[in-house]
Amino acid sequence: EAITIQELANRMAERAVDVIRMLMKQGAMHKITDVIDADTAQLIAEELGHTVKRVAASDVEEGLFDVADNSTDIEPRSPVVTVMGHVDHGKTSLLDSLRHANVVSGEAGGITQHIGAYQVTSPDGKKITFIDTPGHAAFTAMRARGAKVTDVVILVVAADDGVMPQTIEAINHAKAAKVPMIIAINKIDKPDAKPERVRTELLQHEVQVESMGGQVVDVEVSAKNKTNLDKLLEMISLQADLLDLKTNASRPAEGTVIEAKLDRGRGPVATVLVQRGTLRVGDIIVAGAEMGRVRALISDQGETVNEAGPSVPVEVLGFNGPPEAGDRLAVVENEARARQVTSYRAHQKRENAAASASGMRGSLEQMMSQLKTAGRKDFPLIIKADVQGSLEAILGSLEKLGTDEVAARILHAGVGGISESDVTLAEGFNAAIIGFSVRANKEAAAAAKRNGIEIRYYNIIYDLVDDVKKAMSGLLAPTL
């Protein structure tokens, strides 16, 4: 637990210089952006005549998730599936074909809406939920936030290409998460398809399919010709039976945000996968540092629904701002509780951003000497984008730009317009702000102008990355 001097001063309604002066009396030299530990902060606060009440995460987060409930209410739920595999092996095609196949066999003319996840009915009549963003970027992002969403991984391997680097990565991710895998050997329609070779190669990575004497199920499919898709669905359903997935549907909802965006017409929109309980219109919800009241729920078929139970993905309208993919959602009893939780988290988030940023600056002298030997500089940036997908793509590209001499340091990255608090953060660290398909609001634009903070806008990732690259090599004047 730590706090910046600025934040401590704000909370006491004292001037930061007075805090710095007190610390100086104790023999410590500090800047306003420095982080001090909780004990020091408490001493300072008490010396300034304030009563200190430390709030622990456990006080605020208590009772939000995973609270034990009446086990007699437990009922089966559908499995949640993520598709992974090497690029171009057919993940997107498979997801599209599965969804399409189901529309044909289901209600005729059903509208398909891409909301980030969808449900299909397997031949045995049971439902299966697919996460509609292929690849392990989303999977690991969620896991990094502690969200366990996936019950089964479909590992797509192209029969004409075999096991490739990202196939192996996907295997490792699935194993680390202890999630069972089903292998979809794709593109068997191709003349040069060698499904047997795929099985042998998998064996070298300790994935033993049934025909090789192992336990892992494999299905030969063609996403293109829609071959064997029913069989794949059946296998998922069988695997799910083995997992014996059950939960309580009759309790306030818990879930995970799969995707979130700021929609021009509808405001903040989040796709939530309900994992426990039932989410209803009118519920008061929190996710990450955002809260709201459910105004409408929209299904993957584009239909307005009144409620969503376990394993059901829905678009949720009514958040005050877009949460982040991977944030866990909970229903709380009232708005006061929602405000308590989200203001605490928003505060934690600011602290963390400031702490990681000033970790870099705090020991500037130290860093300078390291710089002389290592010669490496940090390039502080704040990045806001319209959707999580773009944001991740941008962050991924920027990460690759880093050299031994200079690297982008992301102080904050998020979905949504550029706000005044982004500008404040930028100001503290002399950072530039980048908006991707979003704008700054009036207050933010004014604050940026006032404080000489540069905001740059982009609609094309390539341009953005290219400019940052130029700026990093000192080619682009002045600050970015």
Which residues are near ligand GDP by CB under 6 A? 85, 87-93, 134, 186-187, 189-190, 222-224
Considering the complex, what minimum distance in angstroms separates the CB of residue 109 from ligand GDP? 25
Shortest distance, position 181 Cβ to ligand GDP, whole Å: 16
Q: How far is the CB of 389 from ligand GDP (least distance, A)?
A: 14
Which residue's CB is nearer to ligand GDP, number 98 or number 285?
98
Q: Residue 81 pairs with which residues in a beta bridge?
A: 130, 152
User: Could you give the dihedral angle defined by the CA atoms of residues 255, 261, 262 and 263, in that order, rounded to the nearest 10 degrees?
Assistant: -100
CB of 310 to ligand GDP, least distance (A): 28
Q: Helices 5-12 and 38-47 meet at what angle, rounded to 10? A: 40
Q: Tell me if 121 sits within 8 A of 106, measured CB to CB.
A: yes
- Classify the C-alpha dihedral 41-42-48-51 as positive or negative: positive
What are the C-alpha distances in Å from 82 to residues 24, 101, 163, 236, 292? 55, 18, 18, 11, 28
Q: How far is the CB of 359 from ligand GDP (least distance, A)?
A: 37
Which of 62/88 has CB closer to ligand GDP?
A: 88
Min dist CB 166 to ligand GDP, Å, is 9
Nearer to ligand GDP, 195 or 428 (CB): 195
Identity of the residue, 87 or 336, whose beta carbon is nearer to ligand GDP in the bound complex: 87
Q: How far is the CB of 93 from ligand GDP (least distance, A)?
A: 3
Residue of 47, 64, 37, 59 lying closest to 12 (CA atoms): 47
Q: Which residues of 391-425 are buried (b: 16+ CB within 10 A; e: fewer)?
A: bbbbbebbeebeeeebbbbbbbbbbbbbbbbbbeb
Task: Please report how close the Cβ of residue 91 comes to ligand GDP at its closest, in angstroms.
Answer: 3
Task: Indicate the residue among 45 and 223 with the shorter CB distance to ligand GDP.
Answer: 223
The residue among 93 and 311 lying less far from ligand GDP, judged by its C-beta, is 93
CB of 387 to ligand GDP, least distance (A): 18
**Smaller CB distance to ligand GDP: residue 89 or 143?**
89
Number of Cβ within 10 Å of residue 280's Cβ equals 16
The DSSP secondary structure of 366-432, one letter per residue, reads: HHHHHHHHH--EEEEEEEEESBHHHHHHHHHHHHHH--SSEEEEEEEEEES-B-HHHHHHHHHHT-E
If you search the block for the tokens 């690259």, which residue do you land on? 469
Please identify, using beta-carbon distances, which residue of 91 and 384 lies nearer to ligand GDP: 91
Contact 93, 184 (CB under 8 A): no
> Is the CB of 153 or the CB of 423 nearer to ligand GDP?
153
